[in-house]
Structure formats: C-alpha cells, structure tokens
C-alpha cells in the first residue's frame, strides 16, 4: 500500500470505529505527537488517543479534504466533526458540536504508520465546546 492508502485506511477505520484495523496499521515502533507537542510512544498510546476522541465524540466523523504523498509520508488535511457527548481529557460532555480543521502527517514504514503528527487549533475546539471564551469574538 502507498502512504496515501495507509493514511486513508486508518481514517476509514476510525470512522467505522474499527480499532483492531487501526492497530494493525500501526508500526511496532509507532509514535504520536499531538497539538501539545508531547510524543506518545507505542500503539497502545495511539489507540488511547483514537478511542478517547471516539468516546468524547461518539458521532464523530473525519472528512478528508486532501491527501498528498511525498515518498513514504502522507499529509492529510481533514475536517473533524462531532457532538461532545463523552469525557474529553477531563472535560465533561457539553452537548455542543465541533467543526475543526486538522492536518495530520504520517510517516509510513513497512506499510504501517511509524510516526504520526497531528496539528489543529485546540483553542478553537475548546471555544466551540464553550469551555473557553472565543478569542475571535467581537469585543464590545
């Protein structure tokens, strides 16, 4: 499978909540770095992140808007949407919806995701959930 194919398969697995398939697509030396810049090592850590978002947003869906490939790297742009109905890193369900643009960079090795780096505006997500004031709101 190409880097694009692996990336698309991983996203499709998350949308279907097929976590066994997601895990199959993770390299033995998998690592994940999220918006906070902290690197999590191992497939278990990656699965915890994926399942955590699925729990927080049980109706959550990822809509791919672009996938580019550069050698063994896939660059995926997508929109994540869902309703906050479960715990999100200690934040109680708000019942509010999110619509967040995300960029995910996946390095592929041996046909599996070796390193995954995800970039998104967490402040905008928190504002959409109503847990922080929207910094872009007009000041009166």
Q: Is 137 part of any domain?
A: no
Q: Is residue 123 part of a domain?
A: yes
Q: Residue 120: inside a domain, yes or no?
A: yes
Q: Is residue 98 part of a domain?
A: yes
pTM of model > 0.95 = no
CA-based nearest residue to 89, from 126, 128, 41: 126
For the chain, the domain total comes to 1
Residue 138 belongs to a domain = no
What confidence category does residue 19 fall into, taking pLDDT thresholds of 50, 70 and 90?
very high
Q: Does residue 78 form part of some domain?
A: yes
The residue segments making up the domain with residue 34 are 3-129
In a domain, 121, yes or no: yes
CATH number at residue 60: 3.10.450.50
Q: What is the number of alpha carbons within 13 Å of residue 28 lying toward its C-beta?
A: 1
Place of tokens 């699965």: 47
Q: How far apart are CA 1 and CA 22, in angstroms?
A: 15
Give the pLDDT confidence of 79-126 residue by residue, as tens digits.
Answer: 999 999 999 989 999 999 999 999 999 999 999 999 999 999 999 999
């Amino acid at each position: 499978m190409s880097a694009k194919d692996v990336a698309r398969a991983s996203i499709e697995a998350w949308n279907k909540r097929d976590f066994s398939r997601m895990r199959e697509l993770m390299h033995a030396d998998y690592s994940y770095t999220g918006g906070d810049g902290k690197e999590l090592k191992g497939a278990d850590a990656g699965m915890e992140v994926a399942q955590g978002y699925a729990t927080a947003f049980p109706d959550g869906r990822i809509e791919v808007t672009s996938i580019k490939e550069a050698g063994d790297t896939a660059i995926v742009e997508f929109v994540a949407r869902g309703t906050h109905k479960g715990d999100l890193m200690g934040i109680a369900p708000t019942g509010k919806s999110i619509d967040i643009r995300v960029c995910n960079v996946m390095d592929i090795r041996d046909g599996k995701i070796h390193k995954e780096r995800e970039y998104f505006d967490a402040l905008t997500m928190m504002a959409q959930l109503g847990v922080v004031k929207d910094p872009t709101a007009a000041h009166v």
